[in-house]
Amino acid sequence: MAFSGTERRRAEEIVARYPQSRSATLPLLFLVQDRDGWVTPQGIEDVADFLGLTPAVVLGTCSFYTMFKLSPVGKLVVSVCTNVSCLVNGGPQLHEHLRREYARSDDVFIEEVECLAACDRAPALQINYDFHGPLTGEQAVDLIERHRSGELTARTISGTATGGEV
Amino acid sequence: MSTDAVRMSQWPSEQPYVIPVAPGPDVATVTIDGKEVQVPRGELLIKVAQDHGTYIPRFCWHERMKPVGMCRMCLVEVEGMRGLQISCATPVTDGMVVHTQSPGVKAAQDGVLEFLLVNHPLDCPVCDRGGECPLQDQTLAFGPGESRFVEEKRHFEKPIPISETVLLDRERCIQCGRCTRFASEIAGDALIHFGGRGSGTEVMTYPDEPFSSYFAGNTVQICPVGALTASPYRFRARPWDLDSVETSCQQCAVGCRGALESTSNRLVRLLGVDLDPVNQGWLCDRGRYAYEWVHSDARVVTPRLAREGGLAEATWPQALDAAAEALRRARDEHGPDAIGVLGGARGTNEDAYAWARLAKGVLRTDNVDAQLDDGLPAEVVLGLPRASIDDLDRAAAIVIVGSDPKETLPVLYLRIRAAAEAGVPVVDVSTHDNGCTPFAACSLRHRPGEVATPVAALAEVLGGRTTGSDADRLAALVADRDGPVVVVLGRPSLAEPATAAVHAAALLAAVPAVRFLPALHRGNVHGALDLGLAPGLLPGRVTLDAGRAHVGAVWGGVPAARGLDARGILAAAADGRIRTLVLLGCDPLTDFPDRPLVERALAAVGTVVVVGAFADAAGGHADVVLPTTVWGEQDGSGTNLEGRVQRLARKVTPGGAAMEAWRIAGELAARLGVDFDLELTAEVQDEIARVAPAFAGVDAAVLRRARDGVVLPLVDHADEIAWGPAPLGAGVSWEPIPAGADAEPVPADAEAAATPTGPPAPPVALWEWRGPAEPAPTVPVDAYALRVVAARTLYGADRAVLESPSLAAFAPRDAVLLVSRTDRDRIGVADGDRVRVTSARATVELPVVADARIPQGVAFLPANRAGAGIGDLVDPDAAVTDLRVETLR
């Protein structure tokens, strides 16, 4: 499987922004992440193939960045800050609460992150890279559920509005 | 904010992402630790310091790669600049004042090493690198005396194989990026890369895609710690038990310089030595690990004679008498033409010369050929103007015709790739995509057997005689570039005669400023041809007629007329016209393209004398076996494809009773009534310098003192010679800290003062060839057939690979037919399915595999594979070979 016609046109547009095609590695990885829900081996091979790089180089680059998920994460990525301001305001407890709540969920992925630069809203979290806070455990679960039900719309798991467009 | 972002993304990024290194013509005056030196402006500080005797410690910087500034070990203080600077990425400017040993620098070195050692396991006692490890050495020289780190070290699964021969220990890795940079920057095989980040950073391959680079072994050599180890050497020796000599690899005709190391009389390792005009420190894996075959159990080390029930051991006098008697009987009863000598391309120059003298001077037969019908005619190879490998870097254009240097001459491929990266346009003329295609400025494709067609057009463009859009594009690439046009000329396919390639050579020879690098691959094939192991030629690149008086004066005579080449010799043997056949260190059964002819010849010929290391070279037909010493067991010299004569060194004592091939020639000559009067290698070298015109002046004394060897003829290259012995190990690429790091550079050898006054010119004008050549016939295309291209791959069923366990373990051996995907689908089979293949000559069954590099209508047969293959299918007399392919149903 390689890029579809639409994907290929999109990829060409992205590559055209840079003097060297290699520079398009990250935006193309977002493209395949949004396509497949995570950065699959197929996605890596597609990007490598399109840019004329080896899969090893694309995987190596990809693995540097935490916003690329190399295993399935579902539809919502919830990033809970446990750095200093959030730490003293209950960030770890918030993280633990969500982790237990969604331990068996396939479409909500809870992760612990370093400072989100949202100390004024501590404890803060991001749902698909949109900021929320301060939140208690129950408020956070409620917010996530409203995203799940479709009442609220989030960005994609890559943090893009429509997928692939960064 | 957003405006900035847009502007950033549209920023014309002419700027490379690494520090540009372009030492200009301007001179800068720099003061390093109080010593004022004149250096090229723009050169890197670390290099300048090293060249002037100040060693700045480093891990990531490597002289042959771009700087990256990852390890921070090379920090120095530059007056006027804030903070410490990494000297590996600081170009020198005029008036710079640098301190490499100030208290601030020492504190920084101490700190960097302490950080590097935090994550390093310090398992030196069980590490291959222990004893020759830059991290160990630099910690001792520049680091903290003891560790403050008391916590548990990190642990990884180890070692993990990242290729067939390279093992990775992630705990030891200090993330200098030498291996990953080598893979992408030098080898062009970016199959390893850093993954993860921070303390989790590790070198990784893509899952299921191992680091299968022909050059993977170099990463082990340049790793500054024991993170990468090579399975063939792992735990075989400790560095302090190794004994080392400098020699040249003889696996192909590039002749890469290396340090050959042994312990307890066993070869255990070959390291690349940085010989600037040749290999620049690199080796291919075949060269690196093929020392193993020297210790093969299959070698014959005592003379053998055919007795009832097979070969039986004999004494040297018995075997030599039998061989001499067979030669004399053939000559006396049937004339000199009843003797044939095949091979000699794997020996030393001395071996080649002595055998040429025995065959042509004593026996007077000209049926001598070092090539096995798999190269180019010797007249063409020796008669074309020769390029040097360094010419690639200064060429106006590089034209690759009829060879895939990556498969047959791997380190030459690295040099071509480096030249292409530096902007030299490469034109790749081939039947299919090959190793050089990815960086070729222009790829010309032709049908098998028709290489002269695109070459004719190319020669017009390069000669400036034609215009047109494509021609203009190509001409524009070459225009404004001074320098020679370097043609790498090989045999396009073993499934066709050399006619088309010779025609192509003649067309290109008319291009102004053209020079050739003949892409013959066998180790010392150029030495053998230069020394007369080819029909019609005498030692020193002269023909029989031109050299008759000069060479004959020493030899007492030379053959009357041109003799037969390898194909002619074997055909004559099969017909019974050749009575005694000598196989001089060659394997015609595997290497000669027409195997049935070899089998007929060996069965028909009266006496087969095998002079070599393997008794089965003649199948079961050997009558006398005279065991020879091989590479690593004998001193001498070898000649590479640019005509560079380099010393070859003996490292281990030969097993059994093996003797040098040149000594065997002398013994046989003595039994035939001629005393060569040659006792020492140096005496042979002196005789070569006296007798062979191209070797004029290249005597033993010069060879001993010319550090990088001598390019023939000496008269044209005398000023390139670097006099004086190389300090052993100084050129080895992992850069051991030189003794007395801040001492003056070692003064040139005292002998250097005694440069010969004016090199002697060849006493006989050397042979020149510029054509004419006959065009090869064009055969109409059969739309239902595939036209064959047969060529060698680096690994295959070659003796050196099969007898080297580390290489044999993963080398592909079985014959296969590579076709385009379209053709495979048209045949209607899956990859690996066996099909019935029919040529005009035979029908065989072969597995078929689709390969994206092969164009439609072409079938690629790797030539060095076991089983049914080109030996059966190809009719060597036909202009091309077409195959019909059917499914087995």
pLDDT of residue B6: 31
Query: B192 touching A, CB under 8 A?
Result: yes
The hierarchical CATH code for the domain A5-64 is 1.10.10.1590
pLDDT given at position B523:
93
Largest Cα span, chain A: 51
Helix (H) or strand (E) holding B354: helix B349-356
| Residue B742 CB neighbour total at 10 angstroms | 15
- Would you call B12 and A64 a contact, using CB atoms and an 8 Å cutoff? no
Does B7 contact chain A (CB < 8 Å)? no
Q: What's the average model confidence in pLDDT over B773-778? A: 90
In the predicted structure, residue B772 carries a pLDDT above the cut 50: yes
- For the CA atoms of chain B, what is the radius of gyration? 28
- State how far the Cα of B591 lies from the Cα of B372, in Å rounded to an integer: 7
Beta strands in B732-829 (DSSP E): 786-791, 817-819
Nearest to B191 among A17, A20, A56 (CB): A56
Pairing of strands B882-887, B786-791: antiparallel
Determine the distance in angstroms separating the CA of B534 from the nearest CA of chain A, rounded to an integer.
45
Q: Please give the full DSSP string across B179-208, using - where no structure is assigned.
A: HHHIIIIIIS---EEEES-GGG-EEEEBTT
Grade residue B865 by pLDDT with cuts at 50, 70 and 90. confident
- Chain B residues within 8 A of A43 when measuring between CB atoms: none
For residues B500 and B225, what is the distance between their CA atoms, to the nearest angstrom? 50
Chain B residues within 8 A of A57 when measuring between CB atoms: 184, 190, 193
Cis peptide bond prior to B596, omega within 30° of 0: no
Domain B304-374+526-730 fold is: Rossmann fold (3.40.50)
d(CA B500, CA B778): 10
Question: Are B662 and B684 contacting, i.e. CB atoms less than 8 angstroms apart?
Answer: yes
Q: Residue B509 contacts by C-beta under 8 Å, 6 or more apart in sequence?
A: B384, B385, B516, B769, B770, B771
- pLDDT at position B520, please? 95
Model confidence at B221: pLDDT above 60: yes
- Sort out which chain B residues have CB atoms less than 8 A from A54's CB and list them: 189-191, 193, 206, 209
> Is residue B770 within 8 Å of residue B510, measured between CB atoms?
yes
The answer to whether B121 and B153 are in contact (CB under 8 A) is yes
Are B193 and A60 an interchain contact pair (Cβ–Cβ within 8 Å)?
yes
Mean pLDDT for the stretch of residues B714-733: 67
- CATH architecture of structural domain B379-520: 3-Layer(aba) Sandwich (3.40)
> Smallest Cβ distance to A54: which of B12, B195, B206?
B206
Confidence of residue B753 (pLDDT cuts 50, 70, 90): very low
| B500, B455 Cβ separation under 8 angstroms | no
Nearest-CA residue of chain A relative to B7? A17
How close does chain B come to A23, measured CA to CA in Å?
10
Q: Within 13 Å and on the Cβ side, how many CA atoms surround B446? A: 24
Are the beta carbons of B197 and A63 separated by less than 8 Å? Answer: yes
Give the residue from B584, B575, B572 showing the smallest Cα distance to B608: B584
Q: Report ipTM (2 d.p.).
A: 0.91
Go through chain B and tell me how many residues it has: 889
Interval B533-563: pLDDT, tens:
999 999 999 999 999 999 999 999 999 999 9
Measured CA to CA, the distance from residue B819 to residue B82 in angstroms comes to 61
Q: Among A155-164, B133-142, B258-267, B486-495, where is mean pLDDT lowest?
A: A155-164
Interface probe, candidates A22, A57, A67, chain B, greatest B C-beta count within 10 A: A57
Nearest chain A residue (CA) to B206: A56
Q: Quick one: pLDDT at residue B720?
A: 86
Q: Which of A89-93, B522-526, B627-631, B864-868 has the lowest mean pLDDT?
A: B864-868
Given a cut of 70, whether residue B755 has pLDDT beyond it is no
Q: Helix (H, G, I), strand (E, B), or coil: what is residue B412? A: helix
Q: List the 46-105 stretch of A: residues with Cβ below 8 A of B.
A: 53-57, 59-61, 63-64
Interface test with A, best of B15, B163, B206, B433 (most A CBs within 10 A): B206
A2 at the B interface (CB within 8 A)?
Answer: no
Q: How many CB pairs under 8 A join A and B?
A: 49
* pLDDT for residue B867: 72
Asked if B209 is an interface residue toward chain A (Cβ–Cβ < 8 A), one would say yes
* B823 Cα to chain A: minimum distance (Å): 21
Residues of A in Cβ contact (< 8 Å) with B193:
54, 56-57, 59-61
Average pLDDT, chain B: 90
Q: Taking a C-beta distance cutoff of 8 angstroms, is the pair B252, B287 a contact?
A: yes
Asked if omega into A123 is within 30° of 0 (cis), the reply is: yes
Contacts (Cβ under 8 Å, ≥6 apart) of B329? B579, B580
Partner residue opposite A59 with nearest CB, options B10, B13, B206: B206
Separation of alpha carbons B215 and B684, rounded Å: 36
Pairing mode of beta strands B304-307, B624-627: antiparallel
> Residue B53: pLDDT above 60?
yes
Taking CA atoms, A117 is separated from A96, A120, A125, A132, in Å, by 21, 8, 11, 12
pLDDT surpassing 70 at residue B10:
no
Residues B815 and B867: beta-carbon distance below 8 Å: yes
Could B206 and A19 be called an inter-chain contact, meaning their C-beta atoms sit closer than 8 Å? no
The 8-class DSSP code of residue B273 comes to B
pLDDT 10s digits, B278-335: 999 999 999 999 999 999 999 999 999 999 888 999 999 999 999 999 999 999 999 9
- Calculate mean pLDDT across residues A124-135: 94
DSSP structural state of residue A165: -
What is the per-residue pLDDT for A162? 60
Q: How far is CA B59 from CA B139, B280, B367, B735, in A?
A: 11, 19, 56, 10
Residue in the structure block whose two tokens are 């859009």: B469
Q: What is the mean pLDDT of residues B51-76?
A: 93
**Residues facing B608 on adjacent strands:** B581
Instruction: Answer whether residue B758 shows pLDDT above 80.
Output: no
Asked if the C-beta of A41 comes within 8 angstroms of chain B's C-beta atoms, the answer is yes
pLDDT digits (tens, 9 = 90+) for B153-210: 989 999 999 999 999 999 999 999 999 999 999 999 999 999 999 888 999 999 989 9
For the segment B513-527, the average pLDDT, to the nearest whole number, is 95
Per DSSP (E only), the strands in B501-572 are: 514-518, 537-538, 542-543
Contacts of B14 in chain A (CB under 8 A): 19
Q: Does the structure show a pLDDT above 50 at B16?
A: no
- Gap from B15 CA to chain A (nearest CA, Å): 10
Tell me the two tokens of residue B465. 């005689």
Q: Using CA coordinates, name the residue in chain B closest to A53.
A: B190
pLDDT of residue B733: 42
The Cα of A127 is separated from the nearest Cα of chain B by a number of Å equal to 23
Partner-chain contact B209 A57, CB within 8 Å: no
Distances (CA, A) of A144 to A68, A96, B770: 21, 15, 81
Are residues B196 and A63, on separate chains, in Cβ contact within 8 Å?
Answer: yes
How are beta strands B834-838 and B843-850 bridged, if at all? antiparallel
Token digits for A71?
Answer: 């295993």
Q: Percentage of chain B surpassing pLDDT 90?
A: 76
For domain B786-887, give the fold: Barwin-like endoglucanases (2.40.40)
Q: Is A42 on the interface with B (CB under 8 A)?
A: no
Domain ranges of chain B: 5-101, 304-374+526-730, 379-520, 786-887
pLDDT band at B745 (very low <50, low <70, confident <90, very high): very low
Q: Which residue of chain A comes nearest to B192, CA vs CA? A: A56
Name the residue with higher pLDDT: B732 or B793: B793
β-pairing, A108-113 vs A76-81, is parallel
- What's the pLDDT band for B20 if we cut at 50, 70, 90? very low
Find the Cα–Cα–Cα–Cα dihedral B476, B477, B483, B488, rounded to 10°: -130
B871 pLDDT higher than 90:
no
Distance from CA of A111 to the nearest CA of B (A): 17
The pair of structure tokens assigned to B612 is 């070599």
Tell me: the pLDDT tens digits for B332-355? 999 999 999 999 999 999 999 999
pTM of the model: 0.92
Bridge partner residues of A125 (DSSP): A80, A132
Calculate how close chain B gets to A68, using CA atoms only, in Å.
Answer: 11
Q: For B787-804, how does the pLDDT look when each residue is reduced to its tens digit (9 = 90+)?
A: 999 999 999 888 899 999
Residues of A in contact with B10 (CB under 8 A): 17
* Domain spans in chain A, listed from the N-terminal domain onward: 5-64, 76-149
Instruction: Tell me what pLDDT residue B468 has.
Output: 66
**What phi and psi, each to the nearest 5 degrees, are found at residue B361?**
-85, -35
Q: Does the beta carbon of A124 lie under 8 angstroms from any beta carbon of chain B? A: no
A143 reaches B (C-beta below 8 A): no
Side by side, the strands of the sheet bearing A76-81 are A108-113, A76-81, A125-127, A130-132
Backbone dihedral angles phi then psi of residue B646, each to the nearest 5 degrees: -125, 155
Token pair listed for B629: 């010493």
Q: pLDDT value at position B24?
A: 61
- Contact between chains at B207 and A54 (C-beta distance less than 8 A): no
B70 Cα to chain A: minimum distance (Å): 16
User: Dihedral of CA B446/B447/B448/B450: which sign?
Assistant: negative
Handedness of CA B786, B791, B795, B800 (dihedral sign): positive
Q: Average pLDDT, stretch B560-571? A: 96
Mutation to test the B interface, candidates A47, A63, A166, most B Cβ within 10 Å: A63
- The whole-angstrom separation of Cα B425 and Cα B41 is 28
Query: Which CATH number describes the domain made up of B5-101?
Result: 3.10.20.740
pLDDT at B246 over 70: yes
Taking domain A76-149, whether its CATH number is 3.40.30.10 is answered by yes
User: Can you give the pLDDT at residue B26?
Assistant: 81
CA distance B415 to chain A (A): 22
| Residue B866 confidence (pLDDT) | 79
